[in-house]
Chain A
């Protein structure tokens, strides 16, 4: 039993934090909103160069073959930076799926390839406009729709750094039966991880503002009413983080316990994101209700991720399946199907 991260994992996460906050900060968000774009090719190239996009792509397809836990740590940082590029969905879910279905597919030759995901659980397809192809769930099969055969209808969304589409296609390639359950688990897990990161960013932004902003002759952060909003948000984060990490570590087990843990992570991390985003807006006061400060980006991303890859109702049902059909109690924290704890 060991619930600590390795030196290497912490180093990867730190590398991602530095890269993503350097290249995806307030100036970048504002420039992109001004230009009306949600993709920065130079930033994506830098992410690919650092190897972050290859983490859980299998080694036989040119990746590093690491685990969901390793990637979840990167997804946390993507959330912290409100990263517009589809690092989690493409590099965390779609490219690994393509690699398992068609290891020699020409798209895999380029590590910068972006593949979008169209699982049945999501009514819209995110980032399809910047993808070279889209993987579509159809009767358990995966259909590969190359970008040039896709007909994308943009669907307006409140998140200015996220693009979603309705998808039709002229031509698709059937890649056979695919592991959509794995895709859903990874989708929920990496959405949870991003939720955790953006929750922490909300608190950090609000703390910085509360130290700086003065009312009644004192920084507003010295007042208990303000402190307690942010402390409550931090509590939610502290107790979401171990659930996200455990869900990531459980993911490969693929049993009812792992599915429930992933769903728990989705529930608690996005609830923390909602709590933190609303606390941050409240602490920023009228500024928080404006485009003058950046917290609205995090509120909007939290809203999108809360319902992407399974609604809270969907994930509660998966936890209910575990709670009501398997033993619960203190000796079942690390239970696995077919084993005692």
Chain B
């Protein structure tokens, strides 16, 4: 164990920091889920990132990446959040589908899909859930009927993040007549192609963050299937491992928020603002938020080191998802408690929006597999309890 950066890693941090200082927009962009304009502004930012070769640093150079290791990825993420750079509008693509494509895709599929993913030219949504298949994902009913060199897709997908404005979706479909975990395939389709209807769904904060997708005889080439026919469940579980394990929520996000929380607390204490500044229980919560963020960061460094040493992500990925989602809610609840009666007030654009971040945090225990499902996974696959 050696918990210090090498000179090369420090130089890399300086390089990332310098580039971000020159390129991160001075004013925050409109949220990518709020309007088409906000979405496109984020796509333009992805192109700027790609122009500096920062699209997806861990991918091989031939697929639009830099071929860096996971410690360098963590350093990049730390600088990215520290600089207050825009949220990654293509996170479903680069953090979920990308690693899955890397593992299960053919060379031709990687060449076709990864570079435009890394540059933001093609932005992805995930189309797994259905009205009758949420936590019980093996209950999906949408079908993919093979017709020569094509699939014909039919069905109803829902809760699909980014789908209101995205270009592509990766969906879970089954062979007509197949049941449960068998006969499923992971298939890509374009969200503006004939037969696809998308209806935006308004989130709790008023944004159109997700959509339902209706598919009627949507034809896609067999080339758009990832992995073997019928291997969809297996591939989805691998994607879910990436989702929960390492990529989706990097620790820097929470470390930045915990630091902002400490600053918020000190500011209220100095100004003796309201009544909450005198509450020692709140200071204990501010400290707890820091400790949680530190614990999460250390855990991810530990995981990254193990993966570099050749280990694979296992069911312990489910512990990550529970930890960050619950830590995020605690952190933002603490911020609102410090703000007191001001907590309910909407803030002007550009100000630190603790309230909106709190509302977003409430989704954490639900998406990417509800925390109830994660606890089942931990109990059954880590602890060995019976199903």
Q: With A211-B385, A243-B294 as given contacts, are A227 and B380 in contact (CB-CB < 8 Å)?
A: yes
List of A residues within 8 angstroms of B384 by Cβ: 207, 211
* A228 within 8 A of partner (CB): yes
Residue among B3, B79, B251 making CB contact with A250, cutoff 8 Å: B3
Report B68-81 CB contacts with A as 1/0, cut-off 8 Å: 00010000011101
Cβ B299 vs Cβ A222 within 8 A: no
- Name 6 extra pairs, CB < 8 A, besides A3-B305, A219-B385, A235-B322: A231-B378, A239-B295, A242-B301, A267-B291, A328-B262, A329-B256
Contact residue range for chain B? 35 or more
* B379 within 8 A of partner (CB): yes
Cβ B1 vs Cβ A207 within 8 A: no
* A319 within 8 A of partner (CB): yes
Shortest Cβ gap from B179 to chain A (Å)? 23
Residues of A within 8 A of B (CB): 1-6, 69, 203, 207, 210-211, 218-219, 221-222, 224, 226-228, 230-232, 234-235, 238-243, 245-246, 249-250, 261, 264, 267-268, 316, 319-320, 323-324, 328-334, 336, 340-341
Cβ A330 vs Cβ B305 within 8 A: no
* B375 within 8 A of partner (CB): yes
Cβ A239 vs Cβ B296 within 8 A: yes
Q: With A211-B385, A329-B256, A330-B81 as given contacts, are A1 and B301 in contact (CB-CB < 8 Å)?
A: yes
List of A residues within 8 angstroms of B13 by Cβ: 331, 341
Cβ B286 vs Cβ A323 within 8 A: yes
Cβ A330 vs Cβ B306 within 8 A: no
Residue among B1, B3, B375, B385 making CB contact with A221, cutoff 8 Å: B385
- By secondary structure, the A interface counts as helix
The docked-state distance in angstroms from the alpha carbon of A243 to that of B293 is 11
- Output the nearest chain A residue to B71 by Cβ-Cβ distance: A1
List of A residues within 8 angstroms of B323 by Cβ: 235, 238-239
- Output the nearest chain B residue to A4 by Cβ-Cβ distance: B305
Cβ B259 vs Cβ A4 within 8 A: no
Cβ B302 vs Cβ A1 within 8 A: no
- Output the nearest chain B residue to A227 by Cβ-Cβ distance: B379
Cβ B385 vs Cβ A329 within 8 A: no
- Output the nearest chain B residue to A313 by Cβ-Cβ distance: B284
Q: Which of B4-12, B203-211, B234-242 contacts A (4 or more CB under 8 A)?
A: B4-12
The docked-state distance in angstroms from the alpha carbon of A273 to that of B28 is 43
Residue among B79, B302, B375 making CB contact with A231, cutoff 8 Å: B375
List of B residues within 8 angstroms of A211 by Cβ: 384-386
List of B residues within 8 angstroms of A239 by Cβ: 292, 295-296, 299, 319, 323
The docked-state distance in angstroms from the alpha carbon of A231 to that of B252 is 25
The docked-state distance in angstroms from the alpha carbon of A267 to that of B378 is 24
